[in-house]
Chains A and B, each alone.
Chain A
Amino acid sequence: GAGVSQSPSNKVTEKGKDVELRCDPISGHTALYWYRQSLGQGLEFLIYFQGNSAPDKSGLPSDRFSAERTGGSVSTLTIQRTQQEDSAVYLCASSPGLAGKAQYFGPGTRLLVL
C-alpha cells in the first residue's frame, strides 16, 4: 500500500514569508508525528497528533509554528514569518497509534529560507 507522502519535496522561501508543509499519512494510522532534521540539532520531535487532537505540542520551537490535522488524516505544518534558522528537513511519520508500534516516515520536505 501507499506510504507516507509529503509535499512539497523542496521549498525555497524568503525570510519573513509563511510556508505550509503537507503530510498524508498511511490510511488508518491514527497517530501522526512531525520531526525536524537539521545539521546543528539532529532529529527533533515537533508535535504529535492522535486523531485530530494534538496532546503533545512540546517540540514546537516558537509560536510561529503551528499544525493541524483534519479528518484524522492529512496534516499541515505552518511556519509563519520564516527565519533562516527554520531551514531544515521536516519529516512526518504515522503509526497505528500504540506505543511501541513502528513509525513510518515520509521522504520529508526540504525547506530553505533565504
Chain B
Amino acid sequence: AQSVTQLDSQVPVFEEAPVELRCNYSSSVSVYLFWYVQYPNQGLQLLLKYLSGSTLVKGINGFEAEFNKSQTSFHLRKPSVHISDTAEYFCAVSEAAGGTSYGKLTFGQGTILTVHP
C-alpha cells in the first residue's frame, strides 16, 4: 500500500514570488508520481508526472517537480506565481507498471495555494 503526505494544508504567497508545495510518499514498491490541480468547482487537471528517467520533471503552466528517491519526496515548484495559480494542488502516487493496482491513484490531502496581489 502507498500513502502520501502533503506537509502544508495552506500556502499563501504574493504574486511573482516563488513557491514550493511539499509532498512526501511512502511505498514498499516502485511508484509513479503525479501532481494535479483543482480549480474551484472543477475536476482535477494533471500538472506533471514522474515515471522514470530524469528526476526533474517539467509540467504545464510553468510548474516543475523534483523526484528525490532517498527522501521519498516529490516537491512542486514554480519560480514566479500568478493570481491565476490560486487553486488546490494534490500530490498522488500509483504503483508502477507490473504491479496489481492498475494505475489506481492514492492522493495526499491537498494544499490550497492562495496568490495575493
Contacts and interface: CB of A to CB of B under 8 A. Distances in A.
A104 B43 CA distance: 9
Given A99-B96, A100-B32, A105 B101 contact: no
B96 A45 contact: no
A67 to B, nearest CB: 14
Given A42-B110, A91-B43, A99-B97, A56 B49 contact: no
A31 interface: yes
Interface residues of A, number: 27
A97 B43 CA distance: 19
Given A4-B43, A91-B43, A91-B44, A102 B104 contact: no
Interface residues of B, number: 29
A107 interface: yes
A100 B97 contact: yes
A25 interface: no
B94 interface: yes
A98 interface: yes
B43 A99 contact: no
A103 B46 contact: yes
A35 B94 CA distance: 14
B79 interface: no
A100 B51 contact: yes
A104 B44 CA distance: 8
Which 3 pairs of residues, A with B, have the shortest CB-CB distance? Answer: A105-B43, A43-B107, A105-B44
Given A50-B102, A99-B96, 9 more contacts: A33-B105, A43-B107, A48-B103, A93-B44, A97-B103, A99-B32, A100-B96, A102-B49, A105-B43
